[in-house]
Amino acid sequence: GVDNLSKEFVEHKDILQDRTMVVKKAKVLPIECIVRGYLSGSGWKEYQKTQSVCGIKLPSGLKESEKLPQPIFTPSTKADVGHDENINFEKAAEIIGKDKAEFIKQKSIELYKKAASYAETKGIIIADTKFEFGIDEQTGKIILIDEILTPDSSRFWPKDKYEVGKSQPSFDKQYVRDYTESTGWNKTYPGPKLPEEVIKNTTEKYLEIYKLLTGKNLV
């Protein structure tokens, strides 16, 4: 809480309470740590072409949205400009070093499994999610950074509507993705302007998943 901040901030705690986040400075590892428990999105597209995702060979005959035998770690590059690029584990190890790559792979899968298990008790499937890691500038240790398990970084599906073999209804940014793809946007700057209806419906989905997972209203 704000009581733990330094003196000059505590004096203003009535303003800072509930709108402040204490952060650490970290050197970002330039790898997006994507964990997939289900076959969807770009993973599904790649599987249809190669029967693999990011170099990981998968069983034949899997269908869209099907649960994978085990969660898989499918990293991508972290691009400042343009598109992130899906890569295999070996390439990730080249970029940041094998020991760091092994560590973030293990931690990413552990985090996904724990989160997916919790979400399932709330009637939600976490199909996939993305984590990021950095090096704490004070301790030199690798720490979890950036957003975690949000609708921007995860696919959340309602368990009671889950059906293998097709795309799923979801509480995440897939609704925005679907709209932008329908416009023929080439995924370069600038993006298309979003209609008010798309903004409103996306906001409702984000508020709903927050309540489903936490039992609380965000606003």
- Give SS3 for 175: helix
pLDDT (0 to 100) of residue 3: 73
**10-22 confidence digits (pLDDT tens):** 888 888 888 888 8
Helices of type H across 13-161 = 13-16, 41-50, 89-96, 98-121
pLDDT (0 to 100) of residue 66: 99
pLDDT (0 to 100) of residue 190: 86
Strand pairing report for 142-145 and 52-53: unpaired
Q: How confident is the model over 88-101, as a mean pLDDT?
A: 98
Band the pLDDT of 82: cuts 50, 70, 90. low
Bridge partners (DSSP) of residue 159 are none
pLDDT (0 to 100) of residue 1: 65
Q: How confident is the model over 87-110, as a mean pLDDT?
A: 98
- pLDDT averaged over the chain? 93
Provide the whole-model pTM: 0.89
pLDDT (0 to 100) of residue 150: 96
pLDDT (0 to 100) of residue 26: 96
CA terminus-to-terminus distance, the chain: 20
pLDDT (0 to 100) of residue 189: 84
Smallest CA-to-CA distance from 155 within 176, 126, 180, 175 is with 126
Band the pLDDT of 213: cuts 50, 70, 90. very high
Burial of 124 (0-12, 13-18, 19+ CB in 10 A): buried
pLDDT greater than 80 at residue 81: no
Per-domain residue ranges of the chain:
24-214
pLDDT greater than 90 at residue 153: yes
Q: Which CATH architecture has domain 24-214?
A: 2-Layer Sandwich (3.30)
Q: How confident is the model over 78-103, as a mean pLDDT?
A: 89
Question: Are 147 and 153 spatial neighbours (Cβ–Cβ below 8 Å)?
Answer: yes
pLDDT (0 to 100) of residue 180: 92
pLDDT greater than 90 at residue 80: no
pLDDT (0 to 100) of residue 4: 74
Q: What single letter denotes the amino acid at residue 119?
A: A
Three-state SS across 125-163?
EEEEEEEEEEEECCCCCEEEECCCCCCCCEEEEEHHHCC
Q: What single letter denotes the amino acid at residue 174?
A: Q
**182-207 confidence digits (pLDDT tens):** 999 988 888 899 999 999 999 999 99
Question: Is residue 27 within a helix (H) or strand (E), and if so which, with residue range?
Answer: strand 26-28
The structure tokens listed for 169 are: 């209804």
pLDDT (0 to 100) of residue 50: 97
**31-69 confidence digits (pLDDT tens):** 999 999 999 999 999 999 999 999 999 999 999 999 999
